[in-house]
Structure 1
Amino acid sequence: MSRNRKSSGVRGPNSALTEFLKNEGITEGFRRRREAQASESPHPQQERSTEPENEDISEDPEETVSPAGARIRRGVATESDQEEEAIRAAGRAKRRDDSDFDPEFSDDDLDANGIKKFGEEDNCVTCGKVFNLTVYSRYLRDQRGYVCETCNETIKAKERNAKRNQMSSRKKRKKIALALLDKQVVRIPKLQDICIKKITLNIDDVEALGDIGQVNMNKISKILSKNRSLNNSTVSLFLNPNLKSLEFWDCSNVDSDSLNRIASYCPNLESLTLFMCGQLHNDNLKYYTTNLKSLSELSLNGPFLISDTVWQEYFEQSGSQLTKFEVRNTHRFQNDSLISLLENSGRNLTSLRLSRLDGLDSKDVYDLIPHYLEPSKLEQLEISYPFQEDLVTDDLLINILAITGETITHLNLDGCSNLTDQFITDGLAKFCPNLTHLSMKNLDQITNEAFARALEEYSAVNSGGLISVDLTKCTGLGDEAIYSLLKHSGHTVVEFSINSLSLLSKDFLLQLFTEDHHPYKKGLKEKLEKLESNGTNENNEENDNNETPSYYPKLSFPFLTTADFGFVRSVDDEILELVGESCPKLSILEVYGNNRCTFRANFRKDLMVIGRQGDEV
């Protein structure tokens, strides 16, 4: 029984050749008609002369008319035949995998060229052994011949080893690059570090080990936080009733219920640090208020779910026992929250850190800070990246330092770009005798001359020197300011950053790290002495036209460990070598953005230079 099927109008894919011929009007039916016409009319020229109607229909002498009335151009048909043949030849060449394929080549030419066929015997071009050719025999183009199976296996083994070495080198470069980002050197790890890493990979079974020590638990916690592996199931492994201090540096995968376990399992906590705690909300802070009776140090980064009202309630109930408070990255810590903190905890605070708090938008509230601080009690102060730059002024910092500057050891004013020379000369240089850590990123209104004078005066107040100094993007500072700073603190500084100080000259850096008995510095010193002693008009005119160079005696940096010279364009390969020689304990040097620092620089092997132009890892 037959079924009538209607065409669905869906066709399968056509090859490129079929589609090309179809577009040109060349079909199989047309070919059959042309062949039939050619067989019926052996002399097509005579027939066309006896048929004037066809000539009238086809005005173009290059066209002919088929019996069906379709016009086909001879030239197009001829070109299409040639293109068709070329396409077919290219296909055959591709299948043969021979770029030198000749369409007129035949198998008879094999014997003429001395090339063996499959199944015949041939000599291996590598070892000379006689073997039978098969379809699996390898042909070596460079030696123009086949190899036997034994030599083929040897070649395969070499290729596998080369690929294995390539993958091993790639993994090694990746490992070095990851270590470089962490400012570490790839070396043989300690047995303790290997064990800790193994534990982190099997963190779910860590309870089977028993007590492994709080120090090691803190290391494991940091590794998990770095890998974003701290979650609801692993957080309870670090909690015990005897714990006094707890630090979680990445709580992004820890929900509210798990954060409540901290207060349930560790009621005797005295110090709590929770960073990236975006899931910490009002109920958690209220629960901490009732359960953590001994908590005196609280550091939170990103608690943007805690409202202004709950902050005030917390300070009213538990603020009297707080001695260290840190809050960052939240817009809900507002003016009333800071006032409540100062009223309930201001007299007891030894550390106050406020950073990126967009809810604090009142200058009058900031001005209240010095009125609630206990004289000579605050040790660490950070007011960084305020909502508006005019909220933190010179007068505010001078008043704070006048009250509690005697005991301050850590001062961080990053992003307070409204501060000027007045803060340096009337505040920092007069009231901070015990300061060891100073960070002033983006303070671009401080000038070179004022900073240099202030540091000279500061030497009489602070004779110990600074340990950590960060002057990133203090773009107004130049040679005199940096030399005054290093002259005061060069013998004590451990961490030092002059990133983006474009006013520093290469001549200054050369003198800073070059011995005074070097011929270059001797000649410079003699030149300056000659200019000072010679007072003729001729020399005065020369001094007016040419800037008088400065002389800087060499300074020593016995404890400098980490330095950032990024985007200081005067730093080049020569400076890198001098820095490496002059700083024996320097282990990390960053030179990002200095396109004249290349791989040609020679320095100590134990010195890690990060950010050189053309570095390959």
Structure 2
Amino acid sequence: MLTAHRSRRNAAANANNRIRGPQSALTEFLAAQGISAADIHNDYLRRQREAEQAAAAEEAQANKENESDDDGEDTVELKKRKRKEEKALNKIKQTKEFKKRKFEEQRDNGSDADDDDTIARQMMAKNKPLPGQLENCEICEKRFTVTPYSKSGPDGGLLCVKCSKELKDEEKKAQKVDKKKAPQRGRKRQTESDRMMGDVKPGAKSLIDACVRKVADVVHDIDDFGDMPDTLLDRLSQILSKKRVMSPRVLNLFLRDDVDHIDVYDCAKLETEDFERIFAHMPHLVSVNLRFAGQMKDGALLYMADKCHSLRHLQLGATNLITDMAWTEFFKARGHQLESLKVSEVQEMFSDGIVLQIVQQCTNLKRLKLRGCSHLTDISVAALSHLTKLEHLTIAIAQHLTTPDQLISLISKLGPNLKTLCLEGYDHEPERTEEEEEEGVNFHDPILDTIQQDCTQLRKLRITGGSHYTDRVFAELFTGWANPPLTHVDLSDNRWIDNNDARGPVDEPVGFSSQAFKALMQHSGSQLQQLNLHSCRHISHEALLDVFDGQKRYPELRNIDLSFVTHLDDVVMNGIFRSCPSLTKLTVFACFKARGAEIPQGVAVIGLPNATENIVIQGFMDELLAKALA
């Protein structure tokens, strides 16, 4: 038994020796080459550390590239991220909170301190809680669950359901109040239209005016006007003509047997047979007023001469299709009974021969208006001097076909009986000799001298469009004039015109200027009702202040037009309001120095952009009336 144990131990030892034999041999080989196990282990650890450091460096570089905003990067992911970010920033810039934040930044810093993108990025960084999370209400600080429909508060926080509803109700009430305060677009346009017509009465319109406007709005649904008074019919015709709705069907509403006059201010939509229908339904017409009657022809005029046996007053505008033959036949038939004749804007078919027929046949004329008759010459001007019964004369005819001598003769013969004299657009170029130029003789002086000497009953004077009349001769016209004070004066467009010399002569101002303005107001200011000095830009600021100083009174002056009188400012406007207690309409187009004057109630200021904002609500007009009565 012992022998067997020894045999097994020896066999195991021999086996171990066989196993250790190669290892000891390798160890001996490595030791001979100078290599140890410790060196191998250290080398392994070194390589492992280098690999970890390289991986960390690559990861840091990748993170740096992802976080940087390099425009040169052309990767798909970077472009996609930039697009999303830009879209989010633009969405934030459209919010009220962004505008409020930007305004506060500018107010606190005193300038455009922060860029829009910077403010938007700061707001984007403050992420709101997601739906399902809990948040405190900005107003009541109550804890609530955020939903996709949670409303933002005034300071950018979220609101609970109750506070959101209350805030929404308040916003609706504020919108209703603002809507009531701000006039509607259509209403504002109607208000400005009324102001142009001088209607500036505060409060609601009168019942009659409201009814007339309503009738005009639904005129296409009306079959008959009934027994409407003549004054309301005329008002309706004005409104409908202004709206350009005077059609043949609407015209039928004005055709009444019991009315002796017809006034249509816009006949552009009427045909030839419509004019004949007027005279067929209204044979007892005494007054006919048809404006813009471009489709009226010979047949309609001759039909009027045949049917209207009581015709006394005739006014036609733009009747360019009526021939000389028809005019001649009409004047032969009805000329002897005409008391007033007004013809305007007839460019072709109204010649000297027709004026001669007027002079021969219309011997009872008291009022004559020839405006825009471009083919009339000195023959017509000379012929008109035989109408000795004329009291009101308005002529505006071609300048190149007439001479001042005939005009002087006409004024000299008719002047003593005239109550209205209107010379529109007379601006003949003076032809003077060298001696006259050295003496300063003005070729237009005899015209105004004739008016001063022979016109002693004028109530209305209009002289427009002159660029050669001087300020001195205008002043001499109103100085020592035996004519009573004028009630209507129109001296518009009398000014120096020269692109190379805008101011004109300094020693002898050309046009209606300061000296003439003072003389006019001293002569006619006590009874003057309407004054038109449109484009008389040479009137000085001192002259305006002297006339409208707030102390002088012009009790009858109601309508003033000082458009393009560039020296008019707020001080002058306040003086006008105090010097003219009866003023109802003031036109000041292109008077850029007048912006802040307080406008009394009842005065329509036309041409001032902020006129409505400057109207005094109460007290000012009562004070003016009290001072005027005192």
TM-score for both structures, normalised by structure 1: 0.72
CA offset digits 1:344-366 (Å, max 9, x no partner): 43422111111112233x33333
Tell me which of 434, 447, 453 is aligned to 1:423.
447
Q: Secondary structure at the match of 1:139?
A: coil
Measured after TM superposition, the shift of residue 606 of structure 1 is 3.4
- The residue correspondences of 1:462-501 to structure 2 (distance < 5 A) are 462=483, 464-475=484-495, 476-501=511-536
* Aligned match of 1:311: 327
User: Is the Cα contact below 8 Å between 1:490 and 1:555 reproduced in 2?
Assistant: no
Tell me which of 359, 368, 371 is aligned to 2:383.
368
User: Is the Cα contact below 8 Å between 1:137 and 1:147 reproduced in 2?
Assistant: yes
Measured after TM superposition, the shift of residue 205 of structure 1 is 5.2
* Aligned match of 2:193: 178
Measured after TM superposition, the shift of residue 76 of structure 1 is 8.0
User: What percent of counterpart residues are identical?
Assistant: 25
Query: CA, structure 1 residues 273+591, in 2 after alignment: closer, same or farther (shift >3 Å)?
Result: same
Query: CA, structure 1 residues 333+415, in 2 after alignment: closer, same or farther (shift >3 Å)?
Result: same
Tell me which of 600, 610, 613 is aligned to 2:606.
610
User: Is the Cα contact below 8 Å between 2:459 and 2:486 reproduced in 1?
Assistant: yes
Measured after TM superposition, the shift of residue 572 of structure 1 is 1.7
Query: CA, structure 1 residues 93+380, in 2 after alignment: closer, same or farther (shift >3 Å)?
Result: closer
Measured after TM superposition, the shift of residue 291 of structure 1 is 1.5
Tell me which of 153, 156, 165 is aligned to 1:153.
165
Q: Secondary structure at the match of 2:253?
A: helix
Q: Secondary structure at the match of 1:440?
A: strand
Measured after TM superposition, the shift of residue 207 of structure 1 is 4.9
Structure 1: which amino acid aligns with 2:335?
A: G
Query: CA, structure 1 residues 487+615, in 2 after alignment: closer, same or farther (shift >3 Å)?
Result: closer
Structure 1: how far apart are the matches of 2:89 and 2:420?
76
Structure 1: which amino acid aligns with 2:158?
A: Y
User: Is the Cα contact below 8 Å between 1:326 and 1:352 reproduced in 2?
Assistant: yes
User: Is the Cα contact below 8 Å between 1:323 and 1:349 reproduced in 2?
Assistant: yes
Structure 1: which amino acid aligns with 2:458?
A: L
Q: Report the more deviating stretch, 439-448 or 309-318.
A: 309-318
User: Is the Cα contact below 8 Å between 2:200 and 2:603 reproduced in 1?
Assistant: no
Measured after TM superposition, the shift of residue 286 of structure 1 is 2.1
Structure 2: how far apart are the matches of 1:614 and 1:428?
41
* Aligned match of 2:477: 454
Measured after TM superposition, the shift of residue 254 of structure 1 is 2.0
Q: Report the more deviating stretch, 214-223 or 398-407.
A: 398-407
Structure 2: how far apart are the matches of 1:94 and 1:398?
76
CA offset digits 1:86-134 (Å, max 9, x no partner): 22554577789998999xx9xxx99xx8x64323444322233444332
Structure 2: which amino acid aligns with 1:367?
A: A
User: Is the Cα contact below 8 Å between 2:201 and 2:602 reproduced in 1?
Assistant: no
- The residue correspondences of 1:399-410 to structure 2 (distance < 5 A) are 399-410=409-420
User: Is the Cα contact below 8 Å between 2:531 and 2:559 reproduced in 1?
Assistant: yes
Structure 2: how far apart are the matches of 1:183 and 1:568?
21
What are the ranges of 5 or more consecutive residues in structure 1 without an aligned counterpart? 1-74, 516-553
* Aligned match of 2:228: 212
* Aligned match of 1:136: 149
* Aligned match of 1:34: none
User: Is the Cα contact below 8 Å between 1:594 and 1:613 reproduced in 2?
Assistant: no
Tell me which of 266, 283, 287 is aligned to 1:250.
266
User: Is the Cα contact below 8 Å between 1:272 and 1:297 reproduced in 2?
Assistant: yes
CA offset digits 1:390-448 (Å, max 9, x no partner): 434332233223332222111111111228221110x2112222210111111222222
Structure 1: which amino acid aligns with 2:493?
A: K
Structure 2: which amino acid aligns with 1:82?
A: L
What are the ranges of 5 or more consecutive residues in structure 2 without an aligned counterpart? 1-70, 96-116, 429-442, 496-510, 614-630
User: Is the Cα contact below 8 Å between 1:510 and 1:575 reproduced in 2?
Assistant: yes
Structure 2: how far apart are the matches of 1:302 and 1:161?
55
- The residue correspondences of 1:302-451 to structure 2 (distance < 5 A) are 302-360=318-376, 362-370=377-385, 372-373=386-387, 375=388, 377-384=389-396, 386-387=397-398, 389-418=399-428, 420-425=444-449, 427-451=450-474
Question: Is 1:509 aligned with 2:544?
Answer: yes
Which has the greater radius of gyration? 2
Structure 1: how far apart are the matches of 2:190 and 2:161?
39
Q: Secondary structure at the match of 2:554?
A: coil
Query: CA, structure 1 residues 165+329, in 2 after alignment: closer, same or farther (shift >3 Å)?
Result: farther
Query: CA, structure 1 residues 95+558, in 2 after alignment: closer, same or farther (shift >3 Å)?
Result: closer
Measured after TM superposition, the shift of residue 204 of structure 1 is 4.3
Measured after TM superposition, the shift of residue 319 of structure 1 is 2.4
CA offset digits 1:258-305 (Å, max 9, x no partner): 222111110010110001111212221122122222222110111122
Measured after TM superposition, the shift of residue 555 of structure 1 is 4.7
Structure 2: how far apart are the matches of 1:197 and 1:596?
37
Query: CA, structure 1 residues 433+336, in 2 after alignment: closer, same or farther (shift >3 Å)?
Result: closer
Structure 2: which amino acid aligns with 1:133?
A: V
User: Is the Cα contact below 8 Å between 1:597 and 1:613 reproduced in 2?
Assistant: no
Structure 1: how far apart are the matches of 2:129 and 2:542?
75
Q: Secondary structure at the match of 2:164?
A: helix
Structure 2: how far apart are the matches of 1:93 and 1:431?
82
Structure 1: how far apart are the matches of 2:545 and 2:297?
55
- The residue correspondences of 1:541-580 to structure 2 (distance < 5 A) are 555-580=552-577
Structure 2: how far apart are the matches of 1:309 and 1:95?
76
* Aligned match of 1:126: 139
Q: Report the more deviating stretch, 429-438 or 261-270.
A: 429-438
Q: Secondary structure at the match of 2:605?
A: strand
Q: CA RMSD in A?
A: 3.1
* Aligned match of 2:99: none
TM-score for both structures, normalised by structure 2: 0.70
Query: CA, structure 1 residues 335+117, in 2 after alignment: closer, same or farther (shift >3 Å)?
Result: closer
Q: Report the more deviating stretch, 439-448 or 307-316.
A: 307-316
User: Is the Cα contact below 8 Å between 1:315 and 1:340 reproduced in 2?
Assistant: no
Measured after TM superposition, the shift of residue 492 of structure 1 is 0.8
User: Is the Cα contact below 8 Å between 1:421 and 1:446 reproduced in 2?
Assistant: yes
Measured after TM superposition, the shift of residue 310 of structure 1 is 2.2
User: Is the Cα contact below 8 Å between 2:324 and 2:354 reproduced in 1?
Assistant: no
Question: Is 1:595 aligned with 2:589?
Answer: no
Structure 2: which amino acid aligns with 1:423?
A: I
Tell me which of 278, 281, 284 is aligned to 2:294.
278
User: Is the Cα contact below 8 Å between 1:273 and 1:298 reproduced in 2?
Assistant: yes
Q: Report the more deviating stretch, 336-345 or 131-140.
A: 336-345
Measured after TM superposition, the shift of residue 378 of structure 1 is 0.3
Measured after TM superposition, the shift of residue 175 of structure 1 is 4.7
User: Is the Cα contact below 8 Å between 2:558 and 2:585 reproduced in 1?
Assistant: yes
User: Is the Cα contact below 8 Å between 1:131 and 1:148 reproduced in 2?
Assistant: yes
Query: CA, structure 1 residues 305+364, in 2 after alignment: closer, same or farther (shift >3 Å)?
Result: same
Structure 1: how far apart are the matches of 2:120 and 2:608?
50
- The residue correspondences of 1:57-96 to structure 2 (distance < 5 A) are 78-79=74-75, 81-90=77-86
User: Is the Cα contact below 8 Å between 1:312 and 1:340 reproduced in 2?
Assistant: no
Structure 1: which amino acid aligns with 2:300?
A: N
Q: How many residues align?
A: 486
CA offset digits 1:336-392 (Å, max 9, x no partner): 4424533443422111111112233x333332221x31x2x10111102x23x2434
- The residue correspondences of 1:40-51 to structure 2 (distance < 5 A) are none
User: Is the Cα contact below 8 Å between 1:297 and 1:324 reproduced in 2?
Assistant: yes
* Aligned match of 1:31: none
Structure 1: which amino acid aligns with 2:382?
A: D
